[in-house]
Amino acid sequence: MKFTKLISVLSIFLLAACGGEDDSQQQKEAASKPKRDCNLTMGWESRAPYQFERNGEITGIDIQIFTQAADKINCDVTFVEKSWTQLLTDLEKGEVDVLAGATITPEREAFANFSTPYRDESFTLFIRGSNSYNGNTLSGFLSRSQKVGITSDYFYGKEVYELMNHPQYSSLFVDSKSGEQSFFNILYSEIDGVLADPVEGHYIIKRKRLDDKIKASNVHIPSDSVAYMFSKKTIQDKRLTELQAAIKEMVANDKIKQVIAQF
């Protein structure tokens, strides 16, 4: 009995010793890993397939492109989810470092720098499946007193901007926090259509199984280029130059198309 106890005690000491060696080895490996030079905070909103969460991971076309660019300059990326309006405010304050999918405008250039444009973004009017409108102009749709959902603080181009400020049509535009919310507003009859990126729109319809309820109309708003926005308060000088160069290189080498093909 005493001999058995002695064996058990020795076994415990041996296991502890082995565990100590494992822990020591893990600590050495962790210490040998190079530390990142920086950490960048990227704001995002749910816009599949561009920005979304899947199995607890933030991913999407815009996310993957930027994380690859950040990796090239030895930067980690953390994510903050808010509405687009809130993210723009945070970027201006310097509470967020970067945003994706942004149209370059004079108003935004006052507080942000931009990367080279990395993809084009157009808009399609999606309408209720039973809607009979078959015209190809947004003004024609609005002239029927039909309401259109838009996302707050998105830039839809000059044509839409002028209609949004037209005395006859301005009240027919209905803001929401996200494009996906506007799609459900169509089902709830709060609006009659929604302007959305065609890739995003078809993705929402497929994922939410709305094929028999919502359809793409013949109204298409010409595409515009979008870029990454960098806060002037937090990303400056060398870091800004490095990020812009990394994204420009990805565009030149068709790395962007490879990322898009994954989705």
pLDDT in tens, 208-238: 999 999 999 999 998 889 999 999 999 999 9
**Reduced to 3 states, what is the DSSP secondary structure of residue 208?**
coil
Q: Is 3 within a domain?
A: no
CATH number for the domain harbouring residue 83: 3.40.190.10
Alpha-carbon torsion (137, 138, 144, 146), positive or negative = positive
Residues 139 and 213 occupy one common structural domain:
yes
CA dihedral 238, 84, 55, 226 (to 10 degrees): -60
Instruction: Please state the domain count of the chain.
Output: 2
Examine residue 17 and state whether it is found in any structural domain, yes or no: no
Residue 24 covered by a domain: no
Q: What is the mean pLDDT of each run of 10 residues along the chain (263 residues)?
A: 41 41 46 68 96 96 98 97 96 98 96 97 96 98 98 92 97 91 95 96 95 97 94 97 98 96 91
Same domain for 217 and 229, yes or no, is no
195 in the same domain as 73: no
Both 233 and 111 in a single domain?
yes
Instruction: Give the three-class secondary structure for 154.
Output: coil
Sign of CA dihedral 56, 61, 63, 68: positive
Task: Provide the 3-class DSSP secondary structure of residue 24.
Answer: helix
Asked if residue 233 and residue 175 are part of one domain, the reply reads: no
pTM (whole model) above 0.85: no
- Whether 203 maps to a domain, the answer reads yes
Cα separation of the two ends of the chain: 65
Answer whether residue 151 is part of any domain.
yes
11 within domain boundaries: no
At residue 223, the pLDDT reads 80
Nearest to 172 by CA among 191, 186, 154: 191
